[in-house]
Amino acid sequence: MEVIPVIDLMGGTVVRARRGQRDQYRPIATPLSRTGDPVDVTRGLLTIHPFATLYVADIDAIEGRPGHQAILARLHAEFPDLALWVDNGIADLGRATSWLGENLGVLVLGSETLADVSIVRRLAGDPRVVLSLDFQDRTFRGPAALLAEPQSWPHNIIVMTLARVGSGAGPDLDRLSAVSTAAPERRIYAAGGVRDAQDLRALARTGAAGALVASSLHDGHLTAADLAAL
């Protein structure tokens, strides 16, 4: 079970995500960092555990505003051994190829920003690409054809339940199991609602390869001892 911490970026700072309602995101206040600077927050997260991967959601870029490429470069320079998984709203092949050429990390294709399945089909074989299947409540946010083509998915899949992000509601085990059944040969990562080590153990029993977490780390509900035990 791989645990991947998450930082959400808006306006140059890390924000606290709440149920996918981005108009309600506010600058983060966390005991792990004296500031909301992405480098400071990342350094704080690494005091809990030597995480191998950091997930970065560039909310401004996802919503069509100028993104945080300079911050990504800073993170890459400050933490060269930390793999970055980046969702920045890229949805066309040309931009994806250009971004991958900068070697800043792994590109996360978020289904909510995709117009069709073509980019996923073209990049599914690239190990530097991850697909995020984004759900809001019971609704899939993305091209319907994408769910019907698990054979076109890349090796690593995120099941993102936006309504549970920052909610403390627990992970969406039923949806995760459904996606795992549809694509048993893929590595599935859960995102949204993870509260503590008990939730991580429940996810492991479903066959999940890992989980994306944020609030449980900042609030102290998922501790260094928990992560070491896992």
User: Is residue 19 pLDDT above 70, yes or no?
Assistant: no
Tokens, residue 187: 């590595």
- Calculate the alpha carbon distances from 25 to 10, 28, 44 in Å: 8, 9, 20
Alpha carbon distance, N-terminus to C-terminus of the chain: 7
Structural domain boundaries of the chain? Answer: 1-29+36-140+163-189
pLDDT by residue (tens digit) across 190-206?
998 899 999 999 999 88
pLDDT per residue as tens digits for the range 35-93: 999 999 999 999 999 999 999 999 999 989 999 999 999 999 999 999 999 999 999 99
Whether the CB-CB separation of 50 and 15 falls below 8 Å is answered with: no
Residue 131 scores a pLDDT above 90: yes
How much is the pLDDT for 168?
67
> Helices (DSSP H) in the chain: which residue ranges?
38-46, 59-62, 69-78, 93-101, 118-123, 144-147, 173-182, 197-205, 215-218, 224-229
Residue of 47, 52, 54 lying closest to 32 (CA atoms):
47
For residue 172, the model assigns a pLDDT of 87
d(CA 207, CA 185): 11
pLDDT tens string 111-127:
999 999 999 999 999 99
- For residue 23, name the pLDDT band (cuts at 50, 70, 90): low
1-29+36-140+163-189: CATH topology is TIM Barrel (3.20.20)
pLDDT at 187 over 90: yes
What's the mean per-residue pLDDT of the chain? 92
pLDDT at 66: 94
Pair 119, 125: CB distance under 8 Å: no
**In which band, very low, low, confident or very high, does the pLDDT at 136 lie, cut at 50, 70 and 90?**
confident
Query: In the predicted model, what is the mean pLDDT of residues 132-139?
Result: 89
163-178 confidence digits (pLDDT tens) = 767 556 788 898 999 9
Cut 0.75: pTM above it = yes
Q: How confident is the model at residue 26, as a pLDDT?
A: 83
